Structure 1
Amino acid sequence: MTEARAAARMSELQRRVLSAIVMIAAALFAAIVGGFVFAAFWIVAGVAVGVEWAWLAAREPRARRRAARAAGVTLGLAGALAALVTLLPLGPWPIAGVLIVGAALVSILGRPAALVGLSVPYGAAVFLGAIALRRDPEDGLLAIFWLFAVVWATDIAAFFVGRSLRGPKLAPSISPNKTWSGAIGGAIVGTVAGTVVAAAGGESVLLPVAAISFLAAILAEWGDLFESGMKRAFGAKDSSSLIPGHGGLMDRLDGFLVAATFAAAIGVARGGFEAAGQGLLRW
C-alpha cells in the first residue's frame, strides 16, 4: 500500500511538471509575440478563471449556468476592449463600465450566492494588469518576464522548500499543506528572481526593484491563500479539472493575478498607461 501511494504521488508530480512546462512555454511564446496574441492568451485565461469562480460560487444549477455564461461574456467583452485600447481612443472607463454592469448582472443571475459577482473583477485581474504592462513599447516584455520570474519562482520555491523543511503551518485552517518555511523560502527566491531579471534587462537601480519584487512575491502567496480560502468556502478541492495535476486555471493563476494587478498599479502610477513597464522597473 505504501509503494502504491508513493507511485501515485510520483505520477501526480510528473503530471504537474509536464502541465507546468506546457503552460510556461505557452505563456513565454505569447509574451514574446506580444500584441493581440498576448492579449488573447490572457483574456481567454481570465474568462476561464471568472467562469470557474461563478460556477463554484453559485450552488443552484440554473443560477450557476446563467452566472457562468454572464461572467464569461462580460470578461470577453472587457478583454476585447482592453486589447483594442492601442487602436481606439477608449481609455479605461468603457472597460470599467462593462465590468461594473457585468458584475451586477452576474450577482443577480447567480443569486442567492453572495460572492458570485466577484467572478468578474477576479477574472479581469488576470488580463488587465498583464496587458497594461506588456503594451509598453520599451520595457513591456521585460516587465512581463519580471512578473513571470517573481510569481513562478515564488510558487516553485514555496512548494519545494515547504516540502523539504516542513515546520509550522502557515494557515492550517485554510490550506493545511502550506508552511512558514515554504512561504519565507518562496518570498526570498521570488525576490532574487525578479531582481536578477531586472538587472539582466539593464536596470542599475536595483533596491526599489528588489523591494517591489518582495512585495509582489508576498502578494502572490497571499493570492494563493485567498483562493484556497474561497475554495474551502465553496466546498471544493479544485476550481475545476481543466489542467492535469493542477486543477483549474483559477488554481494556477491565483497568485499571478494579484501580483500582476499590484505591478500594473505601480507601473501606471509612475509611467502612465503608455509606459507602465518603465514605471515599474526604471528607477
Structure 2
Amino acid sequence: MQKELQLRIVSGIVLAVVTLGATWAGGTVFQLLSVAIALLVYHEWSTITRLGERDFQGNAFGWLSQAVIAALILFDNAQLALLALAAFAVVGAIWVALRSGSWWLPGGIVYAGLTGISLSAIRGDSDIGLVAMFFIFAVVWGTDILAYFIGRAIGGPKLAPRISPGKTWSGAIGGAVSGVIAGVVVFLSHFSMDDVRIPLLALALSVASQIGDLFESYIKRRFGVKDSSRLIPGHGGVMDRVDGLVFACFAALLFVLVQVMAAGGQNAPMGAILLGP
C-alpha cells in the first residue's frame, strides 16, 4: 500500500508540473496538451464503451472526427472546431440511427471533442486566459480535494449511492465551499471584486465539476470497470483525472457563449468574457 501511495504521489506531482507548465506557456504548448487530453479521453471512452467491438466503422468515424477537431485546435480556430464538432455529432447520430448502432458514439465525439475545444479556448494566448485557467483549476482542485476529506471526516447521507457510493452530501457541500474560496483567492490575486458574480461563477463551476465526476462514475459503473485505463500509475486513466475539470470547462464555455450571444457578439478572449474584470 505504501509503495502504491508513493507511486500515486510521484505521478500526481509529474502531472501537476506538466499541466501547470503547459498552462503557463500557453500558445501551441497548451494547445498540444489540450489535444492530447482530448484524444486520450476518446481512446478511453471508446475502450470503456467497447465502441470498436460494437461498430468498427463508427468508431473509425469517431477517431476521424477527433483528428479533424484536433487539427483545427492546433490551427487556433475554436469557432470552426465547434462547428465541426456539431457536424460530426449530427452525422454520428444519423449513423447510429440508420445502423442501430451505439449512442455512445456521438456521445464520445461530443465529450472528447468539447474537452479539447473548451480547454484551448479558455487558455487562449492572453494573460487573462492564464488567470481564467488557474481560476478553473483552483475551483476544481479545491472542490475535489476538500470534498474527499470533508466527506470522510463528516460522512452522512450519500449523494448518489447508485452511482458513486463513497460520495456524501457533506463532501459535496464542503467541496463546493472550498472550491468557491479557492477560485475567489485566485481572482483576487489579480483583480478587485465589485460584486458577487465571481463567487457565483465559482459555485456553478464547482457544481459542474462534481456532476462531471458523477457522470464518469456512472459510465464506469454502467460498463463494470474500475478505472478508465491504467495509463497514469496510481491514478488510473486520463478520464479519471479530468472528469471534473472538463465539465467545469464545458460550463465555462457555455457561460461565455451565452454572454456573447446576449451581447450580439464580442471580439474578446474567452478568459476576459468569463472573468470580466
TM-score, reference length from structure 1? 0.85
2:10 corresponding residue in structure 1: 18
1:78 corresponding residue in structure 2: 69
Query: Contact 2:45–2:108 (CA<8 Å) still a contact in 1?
Result: yes
Amino acid paired to 1:15: L
Shift of residue 164, structure 1, vs aligned partner: 2.2
Quick one: structure 1 residues 215 and 90, their matched pair in 2 at CA, closer, same or farther if it must change by over 3 Å?
closer
Shift of residue 140, structure 1, vs aligned partner: 0.7
- CA–CA distance in structure 2, aligned partners of residues 223 and 281 of structure 1: 22
User: CA RMSD, aligned part only?
Assistant: 2.6
- CA–CA distance in structure 1, aligned partners of residues 189 and 214 of structure 2: 31
1:49 corresponding residue in structure 2: 41
- CA–CA distance in structure 2, aligned partners of residues 241 and 203 of structure 1: 43
Residue 29 (str. 1) matches residue 29 (str. 2)? no
Amino acid paired to 1:224: D
1:5 corresponding residue in structure 2: none
Instruction: Give the counterpart of 1:238 among 190, 212, 227.
Output: 227
Query: Contact 2:172–2:210 (CA<8 Å) still a contact in 1?
Result: yes
Instruction: Give the counterpart of 2:83 among 79, 93, 96.
Output: 93
Render the CA deviation track for 1:118-146: whole Å, top value 9, x for unaligned.
11111122221121111252411110110
Fraction of identical pairs, as percent: 36
1:3 corresponding residue in structure 2: none
SS at 1:191 equivalent: helix
- CA–CA distance in structure 2, aligned partners of residues 145 and 17 of structure 1: 21
2:175 corresponding residue in structure 1: 186
Instruction: Give the counterpart of 1:278 among 269, 272, 275.
Output: 272
- CA–CA distance in structure 2, aligned partners of residues 264 and 203 of structure 1: 23
Amino acid paired to 2:103: A
Query: Contact 1:51–1:71 (CA<8 Å) still a contact in 2?
Result: no
Amino acid paired to 1:275: P
Residue 113 (str. 1) matches residue 98 (str. 2)? no
Render the CA deviation track for 1:219-253: whole Å, top value 9, x for unaligned.
10011011101111112111111112221111111
- CA–CA distance in structure 2, aligned partners of residues 109 and 243 of structure 1: 37
Structure 2 spans left out of the alignment, 5+ residues:
261-265
Instruction: Give the counterpart of 1:38 among 30, 34, 54.
Output: 30
Shift of residue 103, structure 1, vs aligned partner: 6.4
SS at 2:167 equivalent: strand
Residue 265 (str. 1) matches residue 254 (str. 2)? yes
Quick one: structure 1 residues 99 and 131, their matched pair in 2 at CA, closer, same or farther if it must change by over 3 Å?
farther
Quick one: structure 1 residues 128 and 110, their matched pair in 2 at CA, closer, same or farther if it must change by over 3 Å?
farther
- CA–CA distance in structure 1, aligned partners of residues 268 and 202 of structure 2: 22
TM-score, reference length from structure 2? 0.87
Shift of residue 167, structure 1, vs aligned partner: 2.1
1:160 corresponding residue in structure 2: 149
Query: Contact 1:99–1:121 (CA<8 Å) still a contact in 2?
Result: yes
1:58 corresponding residue in structure 2: 50
Structure 1 spans left out of the alignment, 5+ residues:
1-7
Render the CA deviation track for 1:203-227: whole Å, top value 9, x for unaligned.
4225110100011001100110111
1:214 corresponding residue in structure 2: 203
Deviates more, 1:268-277 or 1:41-50: 268-277
Deviates more, 1:186-195 or 1:76-85: 76-85
Amino acid paired to 2:168: T
Shift of residue 68, structure 1, vs aligned partner: 4.7
